[in-house]
Amino acid sequence: MAILSDKDIKKHIQSGKIVIDPLKEPERQIQPSSVDLRIGNEFKGFKIIRKPCIDPMDESDIESYMESFYIDDGEPFIIHPGEFALATTYETIELPDNLVARVEGRSSMGRLGITMHVTAGYIDPGFRGKITLEISNIGKMPVALYTGQRVCQIVFETMTTPADRPYGHPERDSKYMNQERPVTSKIKHDYELVRRKNNKL
């Protein structure tokens, strides 16, 4: 695999192979080998629920464990030490079938103790939608996040050949295709858990 340079990122955007919408300030957002992405208005955080654990086999919808917040422009979302929240990028991303992407936190955020993706920084070829960010504060102080603030960067890599079944293919289980807001885990739809549950019936 090879990482796209700023020159190639611009070419791919101009040709429509990569979509970043809106790309408000390309000259500022396009970095030497990545594109800075901004945080959107919508957040989700876990409620305090008196349950022993989150069980993906449970009939309860994981969505019910979380509450949503809409933050107006210019208002901060405060993430406290030890807290975890879901957010979304301001931009919608679309990848062709021969590119993968990774979301990396910006160094300026990391130095405040803020991580932007706990595990899911990888974006499959063919993905289309906003990127759900998994934000944690591992520092000692609360941190304010503002809508439109650049919080992460996306890196594009070429594949050896185009994917036969890219994300969104009819034969794939593409649970997060076309997401427009922070989306909670859909792990209960994973085939191995569905199969295990059905075997119990």
Tens of pLDDT, residue by residue over 103-136, are 999 999 999 999 988 776 789 999 999 999 999 9
Domain extent listing, the chain: 2-50+62-185
**For all residues of the chain together, what is the average pLDDT?**
88
Q: Is 106 annotated as a binding residue?
A: yes
Q: Is 153 annotated as a binding residue?
A: yes
Phi/psi for 187 (5° steps) reads -60, -30
DSSP state of 30: B
Q: Is 136 annotated as a binding residue?
A: no
Length of the chain: 201
Place of tokens 């499959």: 124
Render pLDDT for 162-177 as a digit per residue (tens, 0 to 9): 999 998 888 777 877 8
Cβ atoms of 171 and 60 closer than 8 Å: no
Looking at the predicted structure, is the pLDDT value of residue 48 above 80? no
The first and second tokens of residue 112, run together, are 């405040």
Catalytic residue among 134, 157, 180, 192: 134
Q: Is 175 annotated as a binding residue?
A: yes
Q: Is 95 annotated as a binding residue?
A: no
In angstroms, the CA 20 to CA 35 distance is 9
Residue 146 — pLDDT band, cuts 50, 70, 90?
A: very high
For the domain 2-50+62-185, what is the CATH code?
2.70.40.10
- Rounded to two decimals, what is the model's pTM? 0.84
CA atoms in the 13 A half-sphere facing the CB of 178: 2
Render pLDDT for 54-97 as a digit per residue (tens, 0 to 9): 777 776 667 777 889 899 988 899 999 999 999 999 999 999 99
pLDDT score, position 81: 95
Residue 42 annotated in active site:
no
Looking at the predicted structure, is the pLDDT value of residue 201 above 60? no
